[in-house]
Amino acid sequence: MNILNKTSSSDNVLRIAIAQINLLVGDIEGNAKRILEWIQRARDEMQADVIVFPELVLTGYPPEDLLLRPGLHERVNTALQQLTSEVKGITALVGYPEKTDKGIYNAVAVLENGKCTAVARKNYLPNYSVFDEKRYFTAADESCVFTVKNKKLGICICEDIWYPEPVKKVVDAGAELILNPNASPFHGLKTHEREDVIRQRVSEIKIPIVYANMVGGQDELVFDGQSFVIDADEILSHRLTAFEETLAILEFDSNSLKPLSTSIVEPLSEEASVYQALVTGVKDYVTKNGFSGVVIGLSGGIDSALTLSIAVDALGADKVEAVMMPSCYTLDMSVEDAREQAELLGINFKVIPIEKPFNIFLELLADEFAGTEVDATEENIQARCRGLLLMAISNKKGKMVLTTGNKSEMAVGYATLYGDMAGGYDVLKDVKKTLVFRLAEYRNTISTNIPQRVIDRPPSAELAPDQKDTDSLPPYEILDVILESYVELDMGLEDIVAAGFDRETVRKVLRLVDINEYKRRQAAPGIRITKRAFGRDRRYPITSGYGRSRK
């Protein structure tokens, strides 16, 4: 954990600590223990007057249907009471679900001197994209202001800061500075979106806003931190590190509430931020779920190579095992490249050919297949042989299988159920193929993790003689734009064609997306890095007549 120390010791300074923390959803007692540790550090090491934690920090975010369990609220109340009794010499803002006779509120408790002196409740409940807070919470219609060092501080929880009304309400109640606890998940360019919104709020109310966000991975979501401050002049004075736990102290003149210093961490590039999001997601999913490590099917192709690189960066080489499973269609260069990368990264690597089990399955199915032509069935049997081997290793060694399918493949069903889709977590599930190449190039600028030949050679599943992805799919430069238009931007066939794409190509791609919903519904969860990912973002029926009449 980074600790950013104070710069001044004057009593004419208001010191506000941001706790950019990574917690485990549902671990009420463990979270409370860590919250108290951070409170004590902020008080004793930084002499902070106030510490602000992210939204729903006591339960972790999002707690989902845990909120429907009465036992959760009993544990929350017990933990909050214990925390309250321990908070002395500092004011702590602790987010929690507040169960009342009127419903459950997304709330923040103001704790000081062994008491809860105020409670802020969320007004606007997001119910779009990955959020479904209206399922659980009751919307409030009130403001919360408390006093520290004769200054009135207001609280607006997460979504409330995106609208003028809750902010104005807090200012009308006397707030001279606003604290904004958040649980804002990452997607590309999210940093600038947040800062633009907060700057707009500041332009309306003319007082500073402190934006505190959490970090860490939670299932498909990754929280990137990057907490920040916009001062009363609409100027960014602080931005914290991305994807790292940080306890930072902000010092304001206790009269004017102007920041006494600036500390701005530069935002990461698109490739760097996505790569770090993937690393964070893998690290937290594997460790928080108690796996000893991971196993990956390493094919010599770019998807598995990038997945391996991410896994090693997330977990360390000693926690990662790779298995190359060649068939009669696997090129020698694929085995060579897989072995070279394994040696580069220093991981446990082995080669297990699938020729024998593949032939045995063909023998067992000989009567069933009599009189038929070789087709994708035989290709899928190869993929399922590999899936069986990986899952057996996983079961025996307690290591989770990381699958390697990218968003482009998952969109059009270019994957085998119970074959290359078999596993616990899909690292690249929301990463388009064109971005896979860019991320591989980016990672190699830091150190060579991926053999250059893997990046340069044409993609192939190597399940048939001389096979290339472009045999059945448009070039990825075209496919990815069509997919983004349809999946992420909700554009229809005519709009995409009007943008300059061949009608038959677009029609084929859209049909593939529609008919492969059943596969995606059975796919492993994966890390969300775009505004609309498959999974909790995009929920379409499996059985549907929509799109059948496209011409």
pLDDT in tens, 505-530: 999 999 999 999 999 999 999 999 99
- Specify the pLDDT at position 549: 61
- Specify the pLDDT at position 3: 59
More confident residue, 349 or 332: 349
pLDDT in tens, 85-126: 999 999 999 999 999 999 999 999 999 999 999 999 999 998
Mean pLDDT of 465-481: 81
Report whether pLDDT(180) > 60.
yes
Sign of CA dihedral 462, 465, 468, 470: negative
pLDDT in tens, 451-463: 999 999 887 666 6
10-14, 248-252, 467-471: least confident range: 467-471
For the question of residue 122 being annotated catalytic, the response is yes
Tokens 């997945």 appear where? 307
Q: How confident is the model at residue 1 (pLDDT cuts 50, 70, 90)?
A: low
- Specify the pLDDT at position 539: 83
Mean pLDDT of 39-50: 95
Catalytic residue (choose from 6, 98, 112, 122): 122
SS3 content of the chain, % helix, strand, coil (to 5): 40, 20, 40
**Nearest in space to 383 (alpha carbons), one of 413, 421, 335:** 421
Single-letter code of the amino acid located at 224: D
Q: Which CATH number fits domain 2-257: 3.10.20.600, 3.40.50.720, 1.10.150.120, 3.60.110.10?
A: 3.60.110.10
Beta-ladder partners of 253: 13
Please state, in angstroms and rounded to a whole number, the distance separating the CA atoms of residues 217 and 243.
Answer: 9
**Nearest in space to 375 (alpha carbons), one of 467, 506, 510, 474:** 467
- Specify the pLDDT at position 545: 81
Give the percent of the chain with pLDDT over 90.
83
Do the bridges between strand 320-324 and strand 294-297 make them parallel or antiparallel, or are there none, so unpaired?
A: parallel
Report whether pLDDT(38) > 80.
yes
Mean pLDDT of 383-392: 95
- Specify the pLDDT at position 2: 62
Mean pLDDT of 205-224: 95
Report whether pLDDT(550) > 70.
no
More confident residue, 419 or 189: 419
Please state, in angstroms and rounded to a whole number, the distance separating the CA atoms of residues 529 and 278.
Answer: 8
For the question of residue 158 being annotated catalytic, the response is yes
- Specify the pLDDT at position 334: 87
Report whether pLDDT(167) > 80.
yes
pLDDT in tens, 274-312: 999 999 999 999 999 999 999 999 998 999 999 999 999
- Specify the pLDDT at position 472: 74
- Specify the pLDDT at position 535: 83
Report whether pLDDT(25) > 60.
yes
Catalytic residue (choose from 133, 158, 251, 519): 158
Please state, in angstroms and rounded to a whole number, the distance separating the CA atoms of residues 431 and 190.
Answer: 16
**Quick one: CATH architecture of 272-469?**
3-Layer(aba) Sandwich (3.40)
Report whether pLDDT(6) > 60.
no
Do the bridges between strand 13-20 and strand 246-253 make them parallel or antiparallel, or are there none, so unpaired?
A: antiparallel
- Specify the pLDDT at position 449: 92
**Nearest in space to 265 (alpha carbons), one of 444, 38, 2, 7:** 2
- Specify the pLDDT at position 290: 94
Mean pLDDT of 533-540: 85
CATH 3.60.110.10 in the chain is located at 2-257
For the question of residue 144 being annotated catalytic, the response is no
Q: How confident is the model at residue 7 (pLDDT cuts 50, 70, 90)?
A: very low
CATH 3.40.50.620 in the chain is located at 272-469
The average confidence (pLDDT) of the chain is 92
**Nearest in space to 545 (alpha carbons), one of 515, 508, 522, 509:** 515
Q: How confident is the model at residue 8 (pLDDT cuts 50, 70, 90)?
A: very low
- Specify the pLDDT at position 156: 96
Please state, in angstroms and rounded to a whole number, the distance separating the CA atoms of residues 141 and 292.
Answer: 47
- Specify the pLDDT at position 214: 95
Please state, in angstroms and rounded to a whole number, the distance separating the CA atoms of residues 84 and 75.
Answer: 14
